[in-house]
A and B are shown apart, each in its own frame.
Chain A
Amino acid sequence: EVQLVESGGGLVQPGGSLRLSCVASGFTLSSYSMNWVRQAPGKGLEWVAYIYTSGTTKYFADSVKGRFTISRDNAKNSLYLEMNSLRDEDTAVYYCATHSGWYAYWGQGTLVTVSS
C-alpha cells in the first residue's frame, strides 16, 4: 500500500524556522518527482514546492521563494521542507504529494501554526 507520512509541524513564532519531513512506504520514492502543497485554515489548495526525482531541479511558489527549501534523501525514502523566516500567512496544513503533473498520492498532512 502506498503511504506518505508527514511530520514536523507545530507552533512557531513569526520569523522562526521549522523542518517538515515526509516518509514514503509501499513504493520507491526515487521513482517520483515530489511536491509540497499547503492549505490554510478554511481555504483552498496552494502548490508550494517541487523537486525532481534526482533532486537536481527545484521550483518554489513566489510566496515562499527565498525562505523555503525542498530536499530529498532517496536512500531514506524521505522528502523534506525547510521553512525559514516564517510568517503568519504560512499557517496551513502541509501535504507532501507525488507528482506526475497531477498528484496521485497524498500524505495526511502536518499542521504548521505561525503565531506569537
Chain B
Amino acid sequence: EIVMTQSPATLSVSPGERATLSCRASQSVSSNLAWYQQKPGQAPRLLFYGASTRATGIPARFSGSGSGTEFTLTISSLQSEDFAVYYCQQYNNWPPWTFGQGTKVEIK
C-alpha cells in the first residue's frame, strides 16, 4: 500500500499571502495524483488530477506540481474562501486508492 504524507498538518496564512502545501508518496506514483479541497460540512471538491491538471472551475491562483514522490499545491494569493482542509490522493497503485491525512489552511 502506498502511504501518502502531507505537510504541514496546519498552515497559518494571512489573506493575500502565498500558501505552499506538500504531499509525499512512500513510492513513486508518477503523475497519478489528485488534490481536493474540503470545507466544514461539505463534500470534498476536486482541484487537480494528473498532479497539475486543473479541474473545471478551479481558479488560476491554484497550481499543482510534482511527479514521482514529491508534490506541491500552491495557492498564490489566499482568498477567504480558500481556508479549508486539503487532501492529496494517489491512483497509481491500487487497490487501495490512498489519501494523505490532510493539511488545514487556517487564517493567521
Footprint of B on A, CB under 8 Å?
35, 44-47, 50, 59-62, 95, 100-104, 106-109
Contacts and interface: CB of A to CB of B under 8 A. Distances in A.
Nearest to B32: A101
Given A44-B87, A104-B46, A109-B43, A59 B34 contact: no
B20 interface: no
A68 to B, nearest CB: 13
The secondary structure that dominates the B interface is loop
Interface of B: 32, 34, 36, 38, 42-46, 49, 55, 87, 89, 91, 94-102
Given A44-B99, A44-B101, A101-B91, A107 B46 contact: no
B43 A104 contact: no
B44 A100 contact: no
A61 B1 CA distance: 11
A103 B34 contact: yes
